Structure 1
Amino acid sequence: MPGQEDGGAPLSAIEWLERQAAGAVPLRPDPAEPPVANTADVPEVSVRPLETGPMADAVGLLPPSVTGFPQTLWQESRAAELARRVAAQRVEGQPAMQALLYSLLLAEALPPADAGREARLLQARLDKLAELGAVEPAEALIARAGPETPALFARWFDLSLLLGDTSEACTAMRADMHLSERLGPRVFCLARAGNWAEAAMVLDTARAIGAIEEPVGDLLARFLDPEAASGPELAPSRDPTALEFRLREAIGAPLPTSALPLRFAVTALGGDAGWRAEIEAAERLARHGAISENRLLGIYTQRAPAASGGVWDRVAAVQRLDAALARGDAGAPGRALVEVWPLMRAAGLEVPLARLFGAELAALGLDGKAGEIAFEAALLSPDYERLARELPAETPQARFLAALAAGTPGRAEAPDARAEAIAEGFAAAPPPELARMIEADRLGEAILRGMELYASGRAGDLPDLAAALATFRTVGLEDTARRAGIEAMLLGRGR
């Protein structure tokens, strides 16, 4: 889980969605079926209201056939507790946990039994997706659920702003002005529809009675009146709203996304802010698993780097490795790998690199330093289990990692205390707290708690690391447990 490639290697939730959007997963009816009816009779059509209220918490983008999770994933837990645990997740530098979290956040499943119209679990899922930079999946999720409440509409509007298309959100708000409790979006949508005079009147009234937040009021005034746009210089903002961000952009005072929360990085992916800004945004998103490694590579290889140092050194090194593998040179890939690996590792991007090139590098039979790196890359790649069987394991750590990749770390000597904790996790039962959750069919809650323990274990609390891995294996997340164990060895305490 979640999903499988044709060759059997699992796809991450984000990668699965990107392939679906690109057409790898069919979204339309069979084109061989003729687009005509057999008769001219009017078919019977049944009409019923769309599900709203508590069912919004059930909405997802990934069906059980992709995630492997049962429909009862959330049903036996309390919505407030689930929302709290979702918000508490910290998965930076933990690729296996990132993939698992995205699967949970995007899964279709029955809502908690106490779910209410406010859809607290859906709100928490949306907020976490946005926090991780997965803005497109978040927007698709809320569009499918329907922004039936002001809280959900506010999130839909903000996500639409970040993606650069508010037409549907504005149309919905004009049809029902009660959807937005904030006046800023109303003024913005009126202006976007060409109702400049009405937008100015609403803004003036709102500012006069203190009913609109600042600096949005000032920004809207400048947006509506080009002469006011050249007013006093605006103070920078470290955590702007999506509306503030877009308004600053519209009046010619854009904020660089590199210093802003991760959700803003998606706005730089189109390249309008320049190639460097696009690369830096893509790297930030790739670190959090919010875009696939293939998308990152596509951005890296758009053109030749125009400078050196920092991000340009990484770009040039990745391009050299990609070119060396494509040419099939005997020694060039090894030299390029030794150069690029420490650069990507220092930037927290060795896992995307391993996912891109790990299998190719493993097939080259590299030796020396390049061979050591190729072994690590293979273990961090999607096909880690097969590659670990085929590559020589010449050190105690390598032999332990090979056994771990096969799911039997106890068959090899543990080289250190961290390895001992990992082996224990593959031999022990989950702790009583989590065993009770699993027995009570609170599966999603148990997984979220296991992820919290894993983060603690990666940071140095080794009993928590063992408990987390035992929990994952008990609930059928064998691949996650193996990947998480490998990452705990090769990526250390995380970042």
Structure 2
Amino acid sequence: MPIVAATSVLLAALPLAAQQTAPAAPLSVIDWLGTQAAATPRSQPRSLIIDEVPVAKTGSVPEVSVVPLGDGAPREIGLVPSGITGLPPGLWAGSDVNRLKTLIEALPDLRLPAAQSLLFTVLLAEAQAPKGGSAAGDALALLRVEKLLKEGALDPALSLIEQANVTTSSAHFDLWMQISLLTGTEDRACNMLSRSAHLTADYGIRIFCAARDQKWDNASLTFGSAQALGLMSPEKLDLADRFLHPDAFEEAAALSAPRKMDPLSFRLFEAIGEPQPTRNLPRAFAVADLRDLAGWKAQLEAAERLTRAGALPDNRLLGLYTDRSPAASGGIWDRVAALQRFETALSTGSAEAVAKTLPAVWSAMGSAGLEVTFSSLFYEKLATFDLHGSAGEIAKKVMLLSPNYESAAAPDGGFADLIAKGEVPDRRPDAPLSGAIYDAFSEAGPRADLIANVAQNRLGESILVLLGLLQQGANGDAAALRDALATLRALGLEDTARRAALQVLVLEA
């Protein structure tokens, strides 16, 4: 069967939502989750009137249906329903969990926001377990949460591990505790541990939770046992010792930071008055700097880092940018000042003021790799101004990088405008990446092996491969970019393909 015909047959199984572009949709499920949390209504008080089941009218025994345990519908784990993601619940169902582990762990640091958005979508989508039943489902849940943690998306990671059941295994509980320590929500985890000590074999966690619960004798006894039996590394013992006995170390020199920081050590350093900077730590630690106890500069740097990775809603960054007036100049303060001046210009309604401030703020946001974030925040307001010259060119880029890219495409525009509409010009561009995009939106066929996965309930597996190809493309590999975009389109992920192509054209090419 020709590849085009085979593709159309396989795509019939995909939800219609996945086969349509949605230019006005949020750029990321991270933003969608933020809106859902804000829109969740307060629960209404229950009525005092008891809605009792009516009394039976006869004494006959009703017919009872019996279904063997384990034969029900497979459990779905995920935070975002199929109606939002456009992905089928069985996207992992035909995959081997070890193969998924290899693919997830091999994923590079994604630079294209379109790729980041697709990654979070596939990690957070409601989905059935892969081959192997509940054990494989539990293993995949851990992999998904671990990847979210690595990316710095701690709030979704916390919700997902709780949905997967934190008491499933010690690995589930320990991962829950790590995330809780970084988000400052460890109370619940410690309370659960106080009732069920078997949930973790980590003596450091046991000591920490006992001390937080004011059970100092228990904490000291656990520390002594760990020390005597060699159950903790010398570095962690030293840190726990200072945490439990601060008076004994008042004149001691500061401890050296461990080569590999973990959430518990991070919190213990903070507790003994030696907080560690997060700039050179894994991205997940940056979330700790979003707390009010961190300085504004630290909050700004953390928010930029997380937003750049797609792990923080854009409006959260905007809120920090506009929280107060910059305290100095240079670096991040120049970005804050430029954005605040631009917002002021927008509020005046003056096209001249906007044109004057737009180049500076665009350059400032570009220096931080936040052009797409800026575009998603301001495209609607910018669209109301008639700008020309350099400001007009920047406004055009903003619109092409925005969720409204298709509507903003000029009827007689250039290559990027045509791609925004899913079209190509008559002549193939000479530049390698532009040529690859042209091919993907014209005659290039998709990767047959990745298309075939759809019929085997392995769509998620294909998406993970495509994410790697997208990053290779962003790094300059034209063939990888062509294959990724052509296959995304064939799989019905047209919106992702167009966004990725536009981001390469506007930001990378």
Q: Same fold (TM over 0.5)?
A: yes
Displacement of 1:412 after TM fit?
A: 6.4
User: Could you tell me whether the CA contact under 8 Å between 1:215 and 1:244 is conserved in 2?
Assistant: no
Is residue 2:422 matched to residue 1:407? yes
Matches within 5 A, 1:18-417: 18-23=34-39, 26=40, 35-36=46-47, 38-39=49-50, 41=52, 58-115=76-133, 117=135, 119-147=138-166, 148-230=168-250, 231-389=252-410, 393=413, 399-410=414-425, 414=429, 416-417=431-432
- Distance in 2, Cα, partners of 1:212 & 1:298: 42
Change (3 A) 1:302 1:95: same
The amino acid of 1:71's aligned partner reads: P
Displacement of 1:160 after TM fit?
A: 0.4
DSSP-derived class of the 1:256 partner: coil
- Distance in 2, Cα, partners of 1:465 & 1:238: 37
- Distance in 2, Cα, partners of 1:337 & 1:237: 44
Change (3 A) 1:28 1:117: farther
Residue in 2 aligned with 1:396? none
Residue in 2 aligned with 1:418? 433
Displacement of 1:193 after TM fit?
A: 1.2
Displacement of 1:117 after TM fit?
A: 2.7
Over the matched positions of the two proteins, sequence identity in percent amounts to 42
Q: Which has the higher contact order (CA 8 A, sep 6+)?
A: 2
Change (3 A) 1:380 1:43: farther
Change (3 A) 1:42 1:408: same
- Distance in 1, Cα, partners of 2:160 & 2:329: 40
DSSP-derived class of the 1:220 partner: helix
Q: 1:476 aligns with which of 492, 495, 502?
A: 492
Displacement of 1:420 after TM fit?
A: 1.5
Change (3 A) 1:337 1:229: farther
User: Could you tell me whether the CA contact under 8 Å between 2:21 and 2:494 is conserved in 1?
Assistant: no
Change (3 A) 1:449 1:267: same
Cα deviations across residues 77-98 of structure 1 (Å, max 9, x unaligned)? 1111112212222243210011
Displacement of 1:246 after TM fit?
A: 0.4
- Distance in 2, Cα, partners of 1:491 & 1:346: 12
User: Could you tell me whether the CA contact under 8 Å between 2:387 and 2:395 is conserved in 1?
Assistant: yes
User: Could you tell me whether the CA contact under 8 Å between 2:142 and 2:161 is conserved in 1?
Assistant: no
Displacement of 1:472 after TM fit?
A: 0.8
Is residue 2:457 matched to residue 1:441? yes
Cα deviations across residues 133-191 of structure 1 (Å, max 9, x unaligned)? 10111011101111211111111000000011212111222222221121110111111
Cα deviations across residues 49-91 of structure 1 (Å, max 9, x unaligned)? x99xx978x4111111111111111001111111221222224
Displacement of 1:123 after TM fit?
A: 1.6
Change (3 A) 1:376 1:259: same
- Distance in 1, Cα, partners of 2:255 & 2:111: 35
- Distance in 1, Cα, partners of 2:502 & 2:23: 21
User: Could you tell me whether the CA contact under 8 Å between 1:404 and 1:486 is conserved in 2?
Assistant: yes
- Distance in 1, Cα, partners of 2:292 & 2:449: 48
- Distance in 2, Cα, partners of 1:79 & 1:115: 10
- Distance in 1, Cα, partners of 2:367 & 2:145: 30
Cα deviations across residues 250-276 of structure 1 (Å, max 9, x unaligned)? 110000112211001111112312000
- Distance in 2, Cα, partners of 1:290 & 1:344: 17
DSSP-derived class of the 2:127 partner: coil
Which region of structure 1 is more displaced relative to structure 2, 218-227 or 72-81? 218-227
Cα deviations across residues 32-64 of structure 1 (Å, max 9, x unaligned)? xx73154364899xxxxx99xx978x4111111
Residue in 2 aligned with 1:458? 474
Displacement of 1:128 after TM fit?
A: 1.1
Displacement of 1:208 after TM fit?
A: 1.5
The amino acid of 2:341's aligned partner reads: R
User: Could you tell me whether the CA contact under 8 Å between 1:245 and 1:255 is conserved in 2?
Assistant: yes
User: Could you tell me whether the CA contact under 8 Å between 1:5 and 1:11 is conserved in 2?
Assistant: no
Instruction: In structure 1, list runs of 5 or more residues that go unmatched.
Output: 45-49, 394-398
User: Could you tell me whether the CA contact under 8 Å between 2:379 and 2:399 is conserved in 1?
Assistant: yes
DSSP-derived class of the 2:135 partner: coil
Count of aligned pairs: 473
The amino acid of 1:87's aligned partner reads: E
Structure with larger Rg: 2
User: Could you tell me whether the CA contact under 8 Å between 1:96 and 1:484 is conserved in 2?
Assistant: yes
Which region of structure 1 is more displaced relative to structure 2, 430-439 or 120-129? 430-439
Superposition TM-score, scaled by structure 1 size:
0.90
The amino acid of 2:438's aligned partner reads: A
Displacement of 1:316 after TM fit?
A: 0.3
Cα deviations across residues 188-216 of structure 1 (Å, max 9, x unaligned)? 11111111011101101111211013422
User: Could you tell me whether the CA contact under 8 Å between 1:80 and 1:120 is conserved in 2?
Assistant: no
User: Could you tell me whether the CA contact under 8 Å between 2:149 and 2:157 is conserved in 1?
Assistant: yes
DSSP-derived class of the 1:297 partner: helix
Change (3 A) 1:98 1:7: closer
The amino acid of 2:423's aligned partner reads: T
The amino acid of 1:36's aligned partner reads: S
- Distance in 1, Cα, partners of 2:200 & 2:310: 32
